[in-house]
Amino acid sequence: MTSAAPSLTRVMAWLHGWLGVVAGWLLFAVFVTGTLAVYDDEIDAWMQPERPALQALAHPEQISIDRIAETLRRDLPASVDQWIITLPGERRDFATAAWFTPDGQFQLRQINPISGDWLESRQTAGGDFFFRFHYRLSMPGVFGKALIALVSVVMLAALLAGIVIHKRFFRDMVTFRPRAAERRVWLDGHLLVAVLFLPFHLLITYSGVVMLSDAVMPSGVQAAFADKGAGWRAGWMADLYPQGPLPSRAALGIAAPLVRLDPLLAAARQADGGRVPRLVIIENPGDQAALVQIHQSWDGQINRDPQIRVHDGVSGQLLTLRDQQRGLHQAYTVLAGLHRMAFADPWLRAMMALGGLAGAVMIASGLILFARKTSRSQPDGSRSARFVARGNVGALAGLAVAVLAFLWSNRLVPVDLPARPWAEVGIFAAVWLLTVVHGCVMPSVGRAWRQQGAVFVLLALGLPVVDGISRRTGELGGELAVLPLVAVGFGAVVLAVMIGWRPSRLAVRTVQKGSSPPFSVTLKRRLFVLWGTGGTMILTGCLSGWPAAQGVMLWSLVLPLLAVVWAVALGLWRNPLKRGTVHDA
């Protein structure tokens, strides 16, 4: 007699669990770094405290491309055939100038958009490190993008499988379970963040897959345009832009003065309702074949493919005005814009960061649930259960410690150190690797959680101290104080969890036969700790960041203090070790 075939729900549950554990550790890092990348410009400002506040957008008529071009002409080698100038936007008030050296090395420096002088500040990986890690693991080439594309597809499949197996999640969300098992509480928390942010998670995952479609199916575009005479890439661009490619010229070797750029900038600003253009590209500067591209600003726009004006670099004549795309490309740029949220105002970006945090919590709780479930369904001492439980320590807690170590390195690494950005990234990687090794070699998984949690709290609470000590006179206060205060808030949240809920409960554990569970596993305490610390994290992480960026420092000071008070209250409320004996496996 043959056994009945497993139901669809059981198959989807198996798929959901194993997809999550295979890609979960990397997906957790992707969500955490993506959340940090939402505030990449703000992190850049904190990591370069020497940079002055310019308020360039308050006086857009004072922005001068001619002064910037004069500085580039004076200081760059004549062999540089392209200047890429990024003008100030809503979230940053300085300009950047980029170019390629004759040996192909990319260079970028910050420049004052009003005076045209170079801005001197420390070299740093900055918030751009989190952005690059988010979509390609900071790896050169296509391997990092391909790996992120693969786990993004896995994430999408796991989300769809989770929808199938949790058909009763709405009822489970509003069901009060006065005597639920501890695993049930973890599952309820996993379901809560998954369901409340399900539309966001589906959108952010699907749009990420679309943005990395060339890495998911790299041969698709090549096969579709392989018959084009100029190559598949030229055929692809011609299909995207029916008006044809932008004009391009080879240098003639005949010297000619560059046209005055400020009138061209003023005309572009007037055509765009007074907004300052975002990008100016000058090809063959100082040559008879010079060209000037002016890209409109995409601040406040979902579609990040703006109108482009191309002028002759000597006469100033308008050669091309490109603003039409095919429908498929418009759909792509809209999805990419929704993923990046570059158009969002501070409140919407705070909500996006909250969604990213919810995604990280969903993944982390799922990994912990899988480890606990595997430890109960398999014999004691099973390798897979221990592997997942120990890996969770370094992948979850270790990443948080590494992020704070990265921020600390910005203040501790000497400012004049050569290749300073690589030193910061190296410290991040080394600390993360050490936490992974620590989680694997510790005899007790619960002790590993406690120790790494304690390190996180010390680094978070100490960040304002090391920040204040390392600052020079005139660099204190203002928006630069936001990041350390937010770190204090998250450190207080972790401290609250450590006091109110022993971290050993995140490990694979066995309970002595006949012993009673500690009082801290009852529902009342679990809900108080889980939702209380979650509420503190929301208030501290979101409400503390945005008002402080607007100059209202009171919230940034009060909310972290409230989180600390909450942590102390949790510790004094009830001693968690009242009854029973619990041993870490």
> CA 394 from chain center: how many Å?
19
Chain segment 133-142, per-residue pLDDT in tens: 999 998 887 8
Helices (H), 166-260: 169-173, 182-196, 198-211, 213-216, 218-224, 232-240
Say yes or no: 418 and 555 in one domain.
Answer: yes
Task: Judge whether 253 lies within some domain.
Answer: yes
Band of pLDDT at residue 239, cut at 50, 70 and 90: low
Provide the pLDDT for residue 457. Answer: 94
User: Can you read off the two tokens belonging to residue 157?
Assistant: 């499949």
Which amino acid belongs to residue 383? R
Reply yes or no on whether the pLDDT at 113 is more than 70: yes
Which amino acid belongs to residue 420? R
Provide the pLDDT for residue 585. Answer: 36
Say yes or no: 483 and 550 in one domain.
Answer: yes
| Cα–Cα nearest to 494, from 448, 450, 543, 435 | 450
User: Can you read off the two tokens belonging to residue 158?
Assistant: 């796991």
Provide the pLDDT for residue 550. Answer: 36
- Tell me whether residue 537 is exposed, middle or buried, using C-beta atoms within 10 angstroms of its C-beta: 0 to 12, 13 to 18, 19 or more: buried
Band of pLDDT at residue 359, cut at 50, 70 and 90: very high
Provide the pLDDT for residue 206. Answer: 93
Say yes or no: 427 and 574 in one domain.
Answer: yes
Reply yes or no on whether the pLDDT at 70 is more than 90: yes
Q: 349: how many CB neighbours lie within 10 A of its CB? A: 21
| 86 strand-pairing partners | 96, 279
User: Can you read off the two tokens belonging to residue 93?
Assistant: 């008030």
Quote the domain boundaries for residue 256.
56-120+243-324
Task: Judge whether 497 lies within some domain.
Answer: yes
Reply yes or no on whether the pLDDT at 235 is more than 90: no
Provide the pLDDT for residue 38. Answer: 92
Cα–Cα dist 250/82, whole Å: 11
User: Can you read off the two tokens belonging to residue 252?
Assistant: 């003639």
Provide the pLDDT for residue 411. Answer: 92
Reply yes or no on whether the pLDDT at 479 is more than 60: no
Percent of the chain with pLDDT over 90: 32
Task: Judge whether 138 lies within some domain.
Answer: no
Say yes or no: 401 and 507 in one domain.
Answer: yes
Cα–Cα dist 408/124, whole Å: 12
Chain segment 213-228, per-residue pLDDT in tens: 877 776 777 777 766 5
Residue in the structure block whose two tokens are 């207080």: 492
Residue finishing a domain among 324, 341, 367: 324
More confident residue, 556 or 370: 370
More confident residue, 234 or 23: 23
Band of pLDDT at residue 177, cut at 50, 70 and 90: low
| 463 contacts 537 by C-beta, under 8 angstroms | no
| 137 contacts 148 by C-beta, under 8 angstroms | yes
Task: Judge whether 24 lies within some domain.
Answer: no
Q: What is the mean predicted confidence (pLDDT) over 558-578?
A: 46
Rank 146-155, 173-182, 478-487 by mean pLDDT and report only the highest. Answer: 146-155
Percent of the chain with pLDDT over 70: 73
Task: Judge whether 163 lies within some domain.
Answer: no
Say yes or no: 312 and 383 in one domain.
Answer: no
User: Can you read off the two tokens belonging to residue 23?
Assistant: 């890609």
Task: Judge whether 533 lies within some domain.
Answer: yes
Cα–Cα dist 305/323, whole Å: 8
Say yes or no: 524 and 449 in one domain.
Answer: yes
Cα–Cα dist 225/97, whole Å: 34
User: Can you read off the two tokens belonging to residue 466?
Assistant: 């090391």
Helices (H), 38-139: 40-47, 65-75, 126-136
> CA 280 from chain center: how many Å?
27
Provide the pLDDT for residue 358. Answer: 92
Q: What is the mean predicted confidence (pLDDT) over 472-496?
A: 73
Residue finishing a domain among 324, 345, 363: 324
Q: 215: how many CB neighbours lie within 10 A of its CB? A: 20
Band of pLDDT at residue 480, cut at 50, 70 and 90: low
Provide the pLDDT for residue 508. Answer: 47
Pairing of strands 106-111, 279-283: unpaired
| 511 contacts 582 by C-beta, under 8 angstroms | yes
More confident residue, 476 or 194: 194
Q: What is the mean predicted confidence (pLDDT) over 529-541?
A: 47
Which amino acid belongs to residue 306? P
Q: What is the mean pLDDT of the chain?
A: 78
Tally the domains of the chain. 2
Cα–Cα dist 61/245, whole Å: 31
Chain segment 247-306, per-residue pLDDT in tens: 788 888 889 999 999 999 999 988 888 888 989 999 999 999 999 999 988 777 777 777
| 385 contacts 371 by C-beta, under 8 angstroms | yes
Sheet with 82-86, side-by-side order of all strands: 106-111, 95-100, 82-86, 279-283, 291-295, 308-312, 318-322
Task: Give the three-class secondary structure for 583.
Answer: strand
Residue in the structure block whose two tokens are 């700790």: 529
Q: What is the mean predicted confidence (pLDDT) over 521-546?
A: 45
Reply yes or no on whether the pLDDT at 407 is more than 90: yes
Chain segment 361-387, per-residue pLDDT in tens: 999 999 988 888 776 665 555 677 788
480-494 burial, b for 16+ CB within 10 Å, e for fewer? Answer: bbbbbbbbbbbbbbb
Q: What is the mean predicted confidence (pLDDT) over 71-82?
A: 91
Q: What is the dihedral sign for C-alpha 278, 283, 285, 286?
A: negative
Task: Judge whether 92 lies within some domain.
Answer: yes
* Main-chain phi, psi angles of 271, to 5 degrees: -70, -20
Task: Judge whether 393 lies within some domain.
Answer: yes
What lies within 8 Å, CB to CB, of 377 at 6+ separation is none
Provide the pLDDT for residue 282. Answer: 94
Provide the pLDDT for residue 169. Answer: 64
Chain segment 425-469, per-residue pLDDT in tens: 999 999 999 999 999 999 888 899 999 999 999 999 999 999 888
| 522 contacts 584 by C-beta, under 8 angstroms | no
Say yes or no: 316 and 383 in one domain.
Answer: no
Provide the pLDDT for residue 437. Answer: 94
